[in-house]
A and B are shown apart, each in its own frame.
Chain A
Amino acid sequence: MARHTLLIANRGEIAMRILRACVTLGHDFVCVYTTADAQSGHVRLARELGGPDRLFRINSYQDPSEILAVADASQATAVHPGYGFFAEDFRFARRVVERQRPLIFIGPSWTLVRDLGDKINTKRIARAHSVPTIPGSDRPIYDEMEAVELAQTIFAFQQDQGIAEGCVLVKASAGGGGMGIEEVYDLDKFRSVYRRIRNYAKRNLSDEGVLIEQRIFDFNHLEVQVLAERGGKNAVHLGTRNCSVQSLGRQKRIEVAPGFDPASLTYAFDAAGVLDAITRHSVNMSLQVGYDNVGTWEWIVTPRGEPFLMEVNTRIQVENGVSGVTSRIQGRADGADGVDVIAEQIRLGLGEPLGYTQQNVSTTGVGIEYRILAEDPLDRFTPCLGRIEAFGWVAEPWLQVFTQVPTLQLGDEPYEIPMDFDPNLALGIVWGQSLDEARARGVEFLGGLVLQGTDTRGEPLRTNVDFLKNRTQTLLHF
């Protein structure tokens, strides 16, 4: 295979993982960093593995012109966006491949990034391919009569399903971030809520379109990790993940693979059937839209065991490692302790064929990923800024830790938590033969973790380690 130079347009632990994958695959890499981020682990690692000429300082991780200028200066041939920043920016993906000196975008083609990047559009595509989606509208509704009819139908649907208290979600189609969204429990109040949302949308978003959906309570959030090769002819999945432990702002905190564990827990519905259905639907849809890189199909599963497709993430995700540790590819030399999803992504992105089919992929054991953050779970998960003075963990064969924070002992030069970027400090992934073993190892890992520091007010740094430990006991119960 030709030797490529990858520009890693990201920072932190994902940049480090991409960097390691590049080295493993035998490619060159180029890293970027900003002044505020010079202490980050990816800068140290890049200097260690590639030397100072592989590092470029930029003003912003978010300026495409600057990133591409670095790519030209360093003669890079491909760009890896990681997650966040440019990962789901179809304009960047398009620009990368359509400029005069085209580069390879490690990710799906830009048209797919665009089409699946929009939730409403994804819903339409899913429905066109007979994939179940949340009952409700799949396009912005502008007509009041139509909206009322739809709301009526959704209430009737819930009555038929035996849901005692039906609820309809009304949201502005151009909205986001929790604005312009309201729940309606009573059909008589629907009209006034609809008008309120419509007027809000017209005033603030200059688009009157409104979406109307069934509101589903107490659902589980499942994901299917899909790998597909360029050309979109072959696709496999690496099993499911359950990401139901989330913060108040719906940010994931613990991910478990597989999504349900019918072997050791009992469910009110056919859990194995659900897992089978969502993986089947995800892979089928990926083949039908011609999906051509790694991606995640996100599902919600209702308490009655109905899966509905929510969205598709056209990028590598933070929690890719947890699918990696529970998957095995038959006949692969490196397949003994899991699959490196990022290495697979780079390989597929550069145009290599998949080289195996679903029959060669098996899942084994249970993996749990913890996201360790400096935040206060008792106070609405408010992020906590400050410096880390001691950081370390007990190395185990069943444990992987990804972090940009250096291992520190009390008395070392402390690590300042940069305030410009996402607040993740570290990811810890444990693996066990069974759910019980994985949970025990998870508690063991969190117990042995050393994480001390002071926040900006001089008080001890608050972290979510205890929250993670407490929630471990109830994982996958539904």
Chain B
Amino acid sequence: MDIDKRTQELAARLTYIRDIFGQRENASMAMLRTRLEEFLEQAPHLGMRELSRQVGMLEELFVLLEGKLESELTPMDRVRIVRHPQRICLKDILENVYDNYTEIGGQDEWSIDPGMLIARATIARRMGKKTVHQSVMVIGQEKGHGQEFRNAGSIKPWGNANALYYMRVAEIENIPIHSYVFTPGAFPVEDYPGAAQQISKNLYVMAGLKVPIISVFSEGGSGGAEAIALADKRLMLSHGYYSVISPEGAAAIEGGLKDKATPELIERCASRLRITAADNLELGFIDRVIQEPPLGARPEHYDFFRQLRREVIRATDEVVDSVDGLGPLRGMAIRRQAKAADPQDIFVRWSLGGGARTKLVDRRFEKFRAMSRTACRDNRSLGARIYSGLEGMLWSAHSTLRHDFLARYKRHLLHMLEALEAELRALRQGVGGPLGKFLGLGDGQQRRLEVPPEALERLTLLSCPEEGACRLEDTWVYVSPKSREDRTLTCPNTPTHGCLDLWGPDLFGEFAGVCSHCGHHFPMEFQWYLYNVFNFAQAYEFNSELESSNPLGYEGFDLKLEQAKRQTGLGSACITFETHIEGVTTVVAVLVSPFRGGTVGAAEGEKIIRAAERAMLKRTPFILYSHGTAGIRIQEGTCGVIQMPRVTMAVRRYIEAGGLYLVLYDTNSFAGPVASFLGCSAYQFAVRSSNIGFAGPGVIRETTGVEVPPKYHRAFSALSRGHIQGIWDRREIKKNLHQALLTMGGKNLYYR
């Protein structure tokens, strides 16, 4: 009876330990196993008292050795812990942490996405005899202890859309959001909407959500995690992981997709990526770690739930405290009680007032802006840094004076002048009728064409002699080196469209890499765009000193980085500059695909943020041109993945200040950047024959086992599912861009 149950529990604990440690068996495990086996052998021969004593001893041994094993956990073991079916789930948390809850995002498998669990929950706080129920919106992925329909917490786009909807509801109701991250990553499906499209929308909205957001990480896999985890306070369970990619994925990329990644390589990648709670705390991507029982929390650890409850309440209190002026005593008490046992007896109202709501968003931006600042190398000298700081301040002052202060009065003056001018014209044109006639201004006569004689002479002369009589069509400023080879290329559409073979010099010279028959776009160098579209020769490049580095000390990455820098002559995969496009001043950021596949790391993120800030100060449009990006740079681990919320927030600030943010895609753009700062723009355009999506066909095959059709990621599919707004021909990018700037920006190109 009781003894049997306890013995079974011990056996289960041993199995769990074996699951966690995988193939490796060490001394402690062997000891536990032999002792348990010995006990089971002897058990039938023992008396009741002796049995009870021995079980007690065994239990103590288990506790002791579990503590010992805890210190031997490798990062990969932690990954196995969070993926174990016995790991705590969101439902356990709802039942044990909150006092009451109602599921609102669907029930069990009858939900738009059973992996995403949304609930309204209450937390009861007792002050003496008085009880106050505080509402929160709980959003998180539910793994359901291995229930198959939960899809292991891998969320489809519509699940994220549902979460977003209830976040907005929470904003309306002015209640805090608690999000629990239990996901290995988003489900890479391109539907209506696509995975990247929805995640970017989530990030964009969360960046401006005016309620406190607390997120708790257990399993934080890249984009899927970010979709609900852009928070004011980010807590992490001590056995959780938060990473840019699963260790298996990293090993697959590291080892080359051909041969299967070995377990050793996966272990090595897991430790190199620095995915554990302690690492993330050290790097500053989370605020606090919640200590779990040894070898991870399971549903029976009630103490742990109590602690978790305390932590989320405290985190919410702190966020509210930081923006809403609490009473001085309570504020002090909260801060002092950080280490105290039970913080429940201080009441903090969780619904924020008007001023605090805007302040909260600013604080959130500042918090993320400060993250990963040291993860890139700044090669400027101290003097240069001081100078640029001063310059920035000067510009900021100038911007305030010119655009905020003067503009207000200028508009009044201009309106007056316009009205006056219109009056005068009306008078001159004789609209006044009798008045005009009286003044002799209007002529009621049959008109004879009045044309100055010199105009008649000009009719058969060269209209612009200074242009010469040369061809009018543009010739490209930058000519691709590929156009100097005498070779014949076959368009990939030849079987279906019957395109004739193309001659290299024609194709890469005059045709700009576009098949003249079917319009298929062959890839072109990024320099082609820099010089022929963005007028790079007359541009002012800034922040070129910011260079990519190896913040995690990822083994072997320094060498690859040096190689990329040498090959491209760039410091990072991003070039930012200020330029004129047909006379319109714009700030442009370019993601360059030859540099490590155009991946985004800390340096690239920082450069894009600074470019957006510059565009905001100078009130110019901001164009982000993705010449190709493979996603977030995995070797930078969380320093890379944090760029998703960071840059999205910066871009949102720019857009909300009234800026025009335009995104242009070429070749292949995938994963993180598309699911955040690229995808969140309202004006996204793609060059024909480009591919846009969340995960490439290979990754989809590996993670979901589905073979996607060949044109799954084509720009035209992205257009039809509403991700992008238009498709442009490469030869006409400049014209279209100018047109877009003229129509989407107002007179001064800074609108709203």
Contact = CB atoms under 8 A, between A and B. Distances in A.
Do A and B assemble together? yes
Interface of A: 60, 62-65, 91, 94-95, 98-100, 114-115, 118, 120-121, 124-125, 127-129, 132-133, 135-140, 149, 152-157, 159-160, 187, 206
B488 interface: yes
B459 A136 contact: yes
B449 A187 contact: yes
Nearest to B456: A157
B95 interface: no
Contact of A160 (B456, B501, B506): B456
Given A65-B501, A91-B503, A128 B465 contact: yes
Contact of A128 (B458, B468, B486, B505): B468
Contact of B451 (A127, A136, A156): A156
B500 A65 contact: yes
B446 interface: no
Contact of A125 (B451, B469, B488): B469
A155 B459 CA distance: 11
B472 A137 contact: no
Given A91-B510, A206-B732, A128 B469 contact: yes
A166 B339 CA distance: 94
Contacts of B729: 206
B537 interface: no
A98 B486 contact: yes
Contacts of A63: 500-501
Nearest to B465: A128
Contacts of B747: none
B641 to A, nearest CB: 40
Contacts of B470: 115
A91 B510 CA distance: 9
B560 interface: no
B462 A138 contact: yes
A64 B459 contact: no
Contacts of A121: 469, 471-472
A139 B461 contact: no
B734 to A, nearest CB: 13
Interface in B549-591: none
A100 B463 CA distance: 41
B26 interface: no
Main secondary structure of the interface of A (DSSP, over half): helix
Given A64-B501, A64-B503, A94-B505, 19 more contacts: A60-B500, A62-B500, A63-B501, A91-B503, A94-B506, A95-B503, A95-B505, A98-B505, A115-B471, A124-B469, A124-B472, A127-B469, A128-B468, A132-B460, A133-B460, A135-B459, A139-B464, A152-B451, A153-B456
A150 to B, nearest CB: 8
A96 to B, nearest CB: 10
The size class of the interface chain B forms with chain A is 20 to 34
B455 interface: yes
A155 B449 contact: yes
B462 A128 contact: yes
A194 B503 CA distance: 39
Main secondary structure of the interface of B (DSSP, over half): loop
Contacts of B464: 139
Nearest to A134: B460
Given A63-B500, A127-B462, A153 B505 contact: no
B501 to A, nearest CB: 4
Contacts of B472: 120-121, 124, 139-140
Nearest to B462: A127
Contacts of A94: 505-506
Nearest to A127: B462
B699 to A, nearest CB: 36
B503 A127 contact: no
A91 B449 contact: no
Contacts of A156: 449-451, 455-456
Contacts of A139: 463-464, 472
A154 B459 contact: yes
B99 to A, nearest CB: 63
Interface in B728-745: 729, 732
Nearest to B455: A153
Contacts of B462: 124, 127-128, 138
A127 B465 CA distance: 9
A103 to B, nearest CB: 13
A63 B464 CA distance: 39
A92 to B, nearest CB: 9
B467 to A, nearest CB: 8
Given A128-B465, A139-B464, A139-B472, A153 B732 contact: no
B597 to A, nearest CB: 32
9 contacts: A95-B503, A98-B505, A115-B470, A118-B471, A127-B462, A128-B462, A153-B458, A156-B449, A159-B448
A68 B86 CA distance: 71
A156 B469 CA distance: 27
A187 B449 CA distance: 10
A128 B467 CA distance: 11
Nearest to A149: B455
B702 to A, nearest CB: 40
A94 B509 CA distance: 12
A19 B45 CA distance: 114
The 3 closest A-B pairs by CB, nearest first: A128-B469, A156-B451, A127-B462
Contact of B449 (A65, A114, A118, A152): A152
Contacts of A187: 449
A174 to B, nearest CB: 11
Task: Tell me which of A138, A149, A160 has the highest count of chain B C-beta atoms within 10 A of its own C-beta.
Answer: A138
A114 B455 CA distance: 31
